[in-house]
Amino acid sequence: MTPSQGRPHATKAPVDDAGLPSFEASGGDWDEIAAEIAELGEERIVVNMGPQHPSTHGVLRLMLEIDGETVTEARCGIGYLHTGIEKNMEFRTWTQGVTFCTRMDYLAPFFQETAYCLAVERLLGVADDVPERAQVIRVLLMELNRVASHLVCLGTGGNEMGATTVMTISFTAREEILRIFEMITGLRMNHAFVRPGGVAQDVPAGLAQEFARVDTEVRKYIKQLTDLMLANPIFVSRLKGTGHLSLAGAMALGVTGPVLRSAGLPYDVRKANPYCGYETYDFEVPTSTDADAYSRVVLRIEECYQSLKIAAQCIERLEKSTGEPVMVADRKIAWPAQLAIGTDGMGNSLDHIKEIMGESMESLIHHFKLVTEGFRVPTGQVFQTVEHPRGELGAHIVSDGGTRPYRAHFRDPSFNNLQAVALMCEGGQVADVVVAVASLDPVLGGVDR
Amino acid sequence: MTDVTPGGDVEALAGTERRRPPLEVVEVRTGMFGVHGTGDTSGFGGLVRPVVMPSASPRPYGGWYDEVVDVLAEVLAEAGVDADAAIESVLVDPPFASSTRSELTLHVAPEHLVAVCQALRDDQDLRFELSLGVSGVHYPSETGRELHAVYHLTSITHGRNLRLEVAVPDADPHIPTTTTVYPTNDWHERETWDFFGIIFDGHPALARIEMPDDWPGHPQRKDYPLGGIPVEYKGATVPPPDTRRSYS
């Protein structure tokens, strides 16, 4: 009995059973291992792929039982990136919660932020009072984020099959979108820009010109990607018919997003249960009936174009609503600071600091109370879903009337969709596992939270 | 339906009253700044604030809610399940008349959960074919109903959403698995077991999913500490988040 037994620890030594032959591959001595396995004369082996493996999209662990080249059983091991974000949110104010949930799915931060804020606004009863301009900014950020996220999916998916150029092009394109994010929020990721009641601050001047430039650039890169991928016979033959997931299978496993739409069901929360005014935008939901990895690539490319189309409509609306508020009028909820980007990044505007430090004691008290104590949210629970790049993201928020969430749970689409790995991979080739998992596009930060 | 309680009172509003005990007050908080006893010099130590969750709604619920509850009761009766026993209470929050964003919550008895899910999924007038997972909530002060499992269902056919809530005592946290009806709940139930210790009877492999297999305790429960260490920064010490001042 070692002292560590029974205590929590993440890296316990694996079960040491002398009866089980096990082989470790960590260097370049694969030949020796293959020879050892050949000696045993056993075709059926269990391969542990990950959690540190370049083609598992993050710290995903796949346990594959292999008979020759055929996968007979595939299981996922997750939890390697669990950081207790939901638990942490119970110990911070409602506004601080945004800084936590933005870190869940780090490739699509605006979706968590928006789902959480929409849920909090519904609990507060101010959902209808959020200014139109704030909703437009949210939609703009989400749609650009969808493009950025899909680009990473296409890029890393290509990279995992050895097509490095696909990755470099899509990351270059994503970089352009991150520039817009940096321009609006001051940050490239972990923005915490969407706040309960609106957004942190208005968009800067010159956004329309920057968007026009980025839009052209991104479209150019997506065109290049399309040519590189869809016209490449190796790429097509690797993806066509791979990772098949029928509509019945997708529905039973609760798989949503591009994977469900590739099976033919045009289910998109933006259309089915609109939020942030999506019913007023002109866009289409592309679908396919092939239900394979190839059709998901085509759908994601098409969705990028649709998202850029929505983003252009947002820019148009922002031009028309210049100067309108971006936060609810209720000063008991609206963050007191007026943020501005200074020489050292984003912070309180100098005017606001002058007011609270030099002019109005009441302003200082108000600022202090709202920032340290926060606001109280009426008791109850809500479930708010948004269309995440990977599927339907749900935020289940419970309030006990206090200044902190009583419980915050996120139904992350990656977490749910990973359940389909067994169905998509079993009976197929080992090499197709990589393609099938990439077509699900799991982001482990969201899976493990 | 009139029901005579042991106290001799007759429950009012025949037909509209449900048999679920009134459990609206889930906790009572005192004081104001999270400091208790002699350390509380704020003068607010005498404040008492009950935590009141929304309770059962009266009929009519409004919109499609009445229809769904009626059809569900009918389908359950056909399957030989006592609908009044299965559906403990119905809550529409915020009330339908006052908001366009109300949500329907059905509090379901654990023993009838699978039958309710089956009816909700399969009947053509209900057709909640998509499950959006299971979430847990821990109410340590709600004696006998400490652990809640919350199920979110979506009907793509009819464009509707509803929530099922099942409460079980901490001493006997057993809920039958819904994976037979919604296979997608597999990992979600494992997560709820992992974080709250709710045992889903009949689950194919109820193992921990986020925490390591040998982890003691269930981290999302309210009695499980957040943990953390004090951090020293520029001479001052910042305490860990769960020991900082809180507002009760």
The chain-wide mean pLDDT, for chain A, equals 86
Same domain, B66 and B134: yes
Query: Is B17 part of a structural domain of the chain?
Result: no
Report the alpha-carbon distance of residue A141 to residue A213 in Å, rounded.
16
Query: Any CB–CB contact under 8 A between A381 and chain B?
Result: yes
The most distant pair of C-alpha atoms in chain A lies apart, rounded to whole Å, by 84
- Say if CB B116 and CB B87 are below 8 A apart: yes
CB A324 within 8 A of CB A135: no
Tell whether B54 is within 8 A of chain A (Cβ). yes
Residues B35 and B77 reside in one and the same domain:
no
* Encoded tokens for B56: 């059962």
Closest by Cα among A416, A148, A441, A75 to A293: A441
What's residue B88's pLDDT? 86
**Is residue B10 domain-resident?**
no
What pLDDT score was predicted for residue A67? 83
Q: How far is CA A388 from CA A35, A297, B154, B210, in A?
A: 46, 16, 16, 22
Residues B228 and B241: their CA atoms lie apart, in Å, by: 7
Which chain B residues contact residue A273 at CB under 8 A?
A: 159, 161
Q: Tell me the nearest-neighbour CA distance from A442 into chain B, angstroms.
A: 15
A135 is a domain residue:
yes
Residue B191 and residue B140 share a domain = yes
**Hey, are the CB atoms on B156 and A265 less than 8 Å from each other?**
yes
**Within a domain: A398:** yes
pLDDT at A34: 73
Number of domains in chain A: 1
For residue B1, is it within any domain? no
What's the whole-number mean pLDDT along residues A407-431? 91
Residues of chain A contacting B147 with CB distance shorter than 8 Å: none
> Any CB–CB contact under 8 A between B28 and chain A?
no
Please state the rounded mean pLDDT for residues B87-112: 86
What is residue A21's predicted lDDT score, i.e. its pLDDT?
62
B247 has a chain A CB within 8 A of its CB: yes
One domain, residues B64 and B50: no
Q: How many domains does chain B have?
A: 2
Query: Is residue B13 in some structural domain?
Result: no
C-alpha of B232 from chain center: 39
With an 8 Å Cβ cutoff, is A249 touching chain B? no
Most B CBs within 10 A among A379, A383, A393, hence the mutation to make, goes to: A383
Pair (B30, B119) in one structural domain: no
Query: What is the interface pTM, i.e. ipTM, of the complex?
Result: 0.84
Percentage above 90 pLDDT, chain A: 46
CA distance, residue A405 to nearest chain B CA (Å) = 12
Which residue of chain A comes nearest to B223, CA vs CA? A87
Q: Distance between CA atoms of A187 and A204, rounded to whole angstroms?
A: 14
Q: Give residue B21's pLDDT band: very low, low, confident or very high (50, 70, 90).
A: very low
* B241 at interface of A, judged by CB pairs closer than 8 A: yes
The gap between the terminal CA atoms of chain B, to the nearest Å, is 41
pLDDT band at A194 (very low <50, low <70, confident <90, very high): very high
Quick one: pLDDT at residue B130? 92
Q: How do residues A195-231 score in pLDDT, each as one tens digit?
A: 999 998 888 888 999 999 999 999 999 999 999 888 8
- What is the CATH number for B223? 3.30.460.80
Whole-model pTM over 0.90: no
With H, G, I as helix, E, B as strand and everything else as coil, classify residue A357: helix
- Residues of the domain holding A223: 85-332+375-448
pLDDT for res A420: 92
Compute the Cα dihedral for B197, B198, B199, B204 and give only its sign. Answer: negative
Task: Provide the pLDDT confidence category of residue B169 given band limits of 50, 70 and 90.
Answer: very high
Residue that wins the pLDDT comparison between A44 and A176:
A176
Instruction: Give pLDDT tens digits for B28-69.
Output: 777 776 667 666 777 777 778 777 787 788 888 888 888 999
- pLDDT tens digits along A71-127: 888 888 898 889 999 999 999 999 999 999 999 999 999 999 999 999 999 999 888
Residues B89, B212 within the same domain: yes
A30 has pLDDT over 70: no
Last residue of a domain, one of B39, B54, B69: B54
Q: Between the CA of residue A118 and those of A111, B53, B154, B237, what are the distances in Å?
A: 10, 20, 18, 35
Q: What 3-state class would DSSP assign to A52?
A: coil
Q: Which chain A positions have a beta carbon within 8 Å of B156's beta carbon?
A: 265, 267, 272
Count helices and strands (H / E) in chain B. Answer: 4, 11
Which domain does B237 fall in, by range?
Answer: 60-243
What is the pLDDT at residue B81?
87
Chain B contacts in chain A segment 189-218 (CB below 8 A): none
Task: Give yes or no: residues B160 and B49 share one domain.
Answer: no
> Who's near A116: CB < 8 A, 6+ residues apart?
A97, A98, A101, A384, A395, A397, A408, A410
Give the pLDDT confidence score for residue B15 in this predicted structure. 38
Do B48 and B167 sit in the same domain of this protein? Answer: no
The verdict on A95 touching B (C-beta cutoff 8 Å) is no
**Which of B33, B54, B75 is where one domain is finished?**
B54
> What is the CATH number for A135?
1.10.645.10
Is B2 inside a domain boundary?
no
**Pick from A251, A178, A243, A219: which is nearest to A425 by CA?**
A243
CB pairs under 8 A between A and B: 130
Report whether pLDDT(A234) > 50.
yes
Inter-chain touch A380–B94, beta carbons under 8 Å: yes
| pLDDT tens readout for residues B75-92 | 998 988 888 888 888 888
Q: Has residue B218 been placed in a domain?
A: yes
Q: How far is A253 from chain B (nearest CA, A)?
A: 4
**First-to-final CA distance of chain A:** 33
What pLDDT sits at residue A331? Answer: 84
pLDDT of residue A379: 87
Most B CBs within 10 A among A392, A396, A417, hence the mutation to make, goes to A396
Is residue B188 domain-shared with residue B115, that is, in the same domain?
Answer: yes
Q: Do A400 and B150 touch (CB under 8 A)?
A: no
Of B54, B75, B97, at which residue does a domain stop? B54
C-alpha angle A338/A357/A202, rounded to 5°? 5
Q: Are residues B50 and B87 in the same domain?
A: no
Same domain, yes or no, for B36 and B114?
Answer: no
> Which of A127, A406, A418 shows the shortest C-beta gap to B101?
A127
Q: Let me know: does A82 contact A448? Beta carbons within 8 Å.
A: yes
**Is A46:A63 a contact under the CB 8 Å cutoff?**
yes
**Yes or no, beta carbons of B209 and A404 under 8 Å apart:** no
Q: What's the rounded Cα separation, in Å, for the pair A356 and A360?
A: 5
With b for 16 or more beta-carbon neighbours within 10 A and e for fewer, the B97-107 pattern comes to eeeebbbbbbb
Counting Cβ atoms within 10 Å, is residue B149 exposed (0-12), middle (13-18) or buried (19+)?
buried
- Which of A127, A254, A379 is facing B51, going by the closest CB pair? A379
Q: Is B197 on the interface with A (CB under 8 A)?
A: no
Co-location of B115 and B134 in the same domain: yes
